[in-house]
Amino acid sequence: MDTHDLKVSVAACTRLLVRAGILEYSGHVSARVPGEDLAVIQQSDDVRADLDPDRLLVVDLDGAVVDGSGKPPSEVFIHTEIYRARSDVGAVAHFHHDRTTVFSFVKGIEIVPVKNHASRWAAGIPVHRDASHIDDHHKGAAVAATIGAGHAALLRAHGEVVLAEDPRSLFVDCLHLVENAEALAEALVLGSVEPLGPDEVAAFLATFQRDRHVAKVWRYHASTAAAAGVIPRSWL
């Protein structure tokens, strides 16, 4: 995928996350430029709902702009330090979804998989204990250390960070993370929750085809968004 196509994917992912109610006026999506220590990310104050590929920036892993005009988000270091620490990660999202964020400050209750697609986080979703803005290299590196080899983290009283291999997979993972958190919150009102156990997770993952699932979910959301005029059909 060339840099232009990568920018299209980031812009589409961002607009679809807004449409899904996961991104609002804040938060951001990035993608690693394949084979390089560079990432594509939006400008700080650009509106997420109509993000355009041509307005996206290319930054290095120090957060400096190497292509484009404008300033990256102040929390660009969430993205760059994860890419520095994890060569397997191709896309990162940071957002502030209230019904998911509550699990970062309720004692004794963690996000556990109650829906099958949340098996991706069966090993747990750690809470990063720094509630401030992640606005420098050291704080970004600390977030990457909290995540470790995992795929997501909660930032205490702040929001979420999700990691995936590419922007389309990232969009699907963000959907499932939020869906699981919302289902868990509703279930806790009803009574005791029985999360998926290790055998159930293993049984699901044994037949799960991630690539096929990502393509199916992306196609549905992108097509309905295009029909509604949220994204151009040329981005499909």
Does the predicted model carry a pTM greater than 0.75? Answer: yes
CA distance 102 to 96: 10
**Range(s) of the domain holding residue 146:** 3-229
CATH number of the domain at 73, please. Answer: 3.40.225.10
Per-residue pLDDT of the chain (236 residues; tens, 9 = 90+): 799 999 999 999 999 999 999 999 999 999 999 999 999 999 999 999 999 999 999 999 999 999 999 999 999 999 999 999 999 999 999 999 999 999 999 999 999 999 999 999 999 999 999 999 999 999 999 999 999 999 999 999 999 999 999 999 999 999 999 999 999 999 999 999 999 999 999 999 999 999 999 999 999 999 999 999 999 999 98
**Tally of domains in the chain:** 1
**Does 234 fall in a domain?**
no
Cα-based torsion angle of the residue sequence 231, 236, 2, 27 in order, rounded to the nearest 10 degrees: 40
| 60: helix, strand or coil | strand
> 166 with 31: CB under 8 angstroms?
yes
**Does 219 fall in a domain?**
yes
**Does 236 fall in a domain?**
no
